[in-house]
Chain A
């Protein structure tokens, strides 16, 4: 459904995308994971025909993003990063307007948005600007779905939305997937990666890993420890200073650590922490998650 081949894009001296290649199958829920400034939005804009790539090629539903851009504009659904709605128009007026520019109306494809629109219906006369973040996100999704697109581009749809709304949003995406919509979604939240069929991790314009979440996690072979204790910041500082530390990063209230010689170094680490006065520190083996994989691959 989406084929990206060796795409390159620069802004002056800054390389936004470098040799990015990926492929999204029909009906797949594909996540593009990476921090701010990694190049996610640039890739979305190239695929939605808003930017021209400087090298490589890409197709969406078999249409070339440069030559057949008009066809893509007719078919694809796109929700840009900042929920681009008209704040001074009501919920219903926004929906009507976006339906009309795709030469359709609200009723024709109402089935596809019914469940998403339901919680919005009581507020249909409220101005979009007065909605909560989660509601705005739902409305923006409805607007991008109103012409029943076979492929949907969602650029950071969960940024700035509360945890509950985020969870609901992902449930909605799974329902859409069941209806056969191909979805490319980007997010800076690593914990959302496991909710995708497949993911691509992007960092500074380069893809640093691609595959199902399970595949990516199984690629993390080093033993991983979760260290916790009092005064977490001093603990982190001391762990960074420890000579055998391979990587360590804060992870909620714990610190995830890998050691240069794996299991062999654990007793040395325990001694080191005792010496540094962290009597209450505990070291437990832990299963890696996507974020561990991301940090690991970022270093390479």
Chain B
């Protein structure tokens, strides 16, 4: 036991004295959470809208005022005709345009039906769709106010409710994603590198030639990283909840227990990588390519899995991050309990056991 303790002491010294590692361990999560929380978001607010007002009457002025009042739009220009529209889009002065025809109020008052045209920059299709939806909603509201429903004989008005995230804040999705990414990075990559480093510098040779049991060597090396990963998880949770008001609706105990489980999954992957390589650079490339890329791309963190080809959806099932993100979202945002996440937890546990068994089989008591 005292051997184990002194091993941990030694490992902690390595971590504390290596400024670069420290920076990765604690700087990275901070930078990522702030980047994803503030900068990289797909919420849309105050988009520039160009209004082509060919009507110039009280009704069109009222509609323009309503658009400008909405938090989604900011009227950047009101022009008289649509000739210059193309130019506005190319110069990125507008993301969307609304064209109000000259006979707008005439048709409204006499024919009870008027048209406006919405033109959006679809070079970014997602944004264009969202903006068109917002604009349509504003036009509908305007119409409702002018003609209370009595005037229309049959009218079904859908009432939409966005469950769990009514404001559709993207940061709700990013906090679980960033947490997964960081835990993967710290736990898997750092452990792989730290074990391989001993091989590279030759100290592993001395450790192996000593009475230390090889599993103890690995355990001694990863224990400080379990603690560090856990601190990181708390850090990200704290930032998410305090800074970005991400809700925490489920049980803290369950959430933290799941974090520990995922840390172990990532660590076992790190050990597995370390058994297959003998230099730090390869270990890093393997971790980045084999773990980080799938975690970002195929876990549902950034790109929705449902819109991927079926083969990729199948492949996503073997990526631990996918299951952890589901668990996190369920617990934090939906307030799910053990009954709702036991299946995903079971899959993660099985994966961890599988990786540990392979690592133990592959870890050698000798050099080759």
Q: Is the CB of B211 within 8 A of A49?
A: no
Q: What is the size category of the interface that chain B forms with chain A?
A: 20 to 34
Residues on A with beta carbons closer than 8 Å to the beta carbon of B17: 88
CB nearest to B366 among chain A residues: A50
Q: Is B110 an interface residue (CB 8 A)?
A: no
A101 touches B18 (CB 8 A): no
Contact A97 B368 (CB under 8 A): no
Whether A78 contacts B3 by the Cβ 8 Å rule is: no
For B3, the chain A residues whose CB sits under 8 A away are 100-101, 103
Whether A49 pairs with B202 at a CB distance below 8 angstroms is no
Contact flags B198-242 to A (C-beta < 8 A → 1, else 0): 000111011111111000000000000000000000000000000
Please state if A102 and B14 are interface contacts (CB–CB under 8 Å).
Answer: no
Q: Note all chain B residues with C-beta closer than 8 A to A98.
A: 206, 210
Candidates B202, B207, B211, B367; contact of A74 at CB < 8 Å: B211
Are B367 and A86 in touch, CB under 8 angstroms? no
On whether the beta carbons of A73 and B211 are closer than 8 Å, the reply is yes
Partner of A93, one of B13, B202, B205, B207: B13
**Which of B13, B201, B367 has a CB less than 8 Å from the CB of A84?**
B201
Tell whether A190 is near chain B: CB-to-CB under 8 Å: no
Tell whether, in the assembled complex, residue B10 and residue A86 are in contact, meaning their CB atoms are under 8 Å apart. Answer: yes
Partner of A50, one of B14, B203, B209, B211: B209
> Across the interface, do B205 and A84 meet the contact criterion of CB distance under 8 Å?
yes
Q: A38–B243 Cα gap in the complex (Å)?
A: 64
Q: Find the A residue at minimum CB distance from B368.
A: A51
Decide: B209 and A49 in contact? CB cutoff 8 A. Answer: yes
Known: A73-B211, A76-B209. A84 touches B202 (CB 8 A): yes
Interface: A52 (CB within 8 A): yes
Query: What band does the interface of chain A fall in when counting residues whose beta carbon is under 8 Å from B?
Result: 20 to 34
Q: Using known A-B contacts A50-B205, A82-B202, A85-B203, determine if residue A102 contacts B210 with beta carbons closer than 8 Å.
A: yes
B13 lies within 8 A of A51 (CB): no
CB-CB < 8 A to A74: which residues of B? 211
The interface of chain B, by Cβ under 8 A from chain A, is 2-3, 6-7, 10, 13-14, 17-18, 201-203, 205-212, 365-368
Listed by A's residue number, 25 A-B pairs whose Cβ atoms lie within 8 Å are: A48-B209, A50-B367, A52-B366, A69-B365, A73-B209, A73-B210, A74-B211, A76-B209, A81-B202, A84-B201, A84-B203, A86-B10, A86-B14, A88-B17, A88-B18, A89-B10, A93-B10, A93-B13, A96-B6, A97-B10, A98-B206, A100-B3, A100-B6, A101-B207, A102-B211
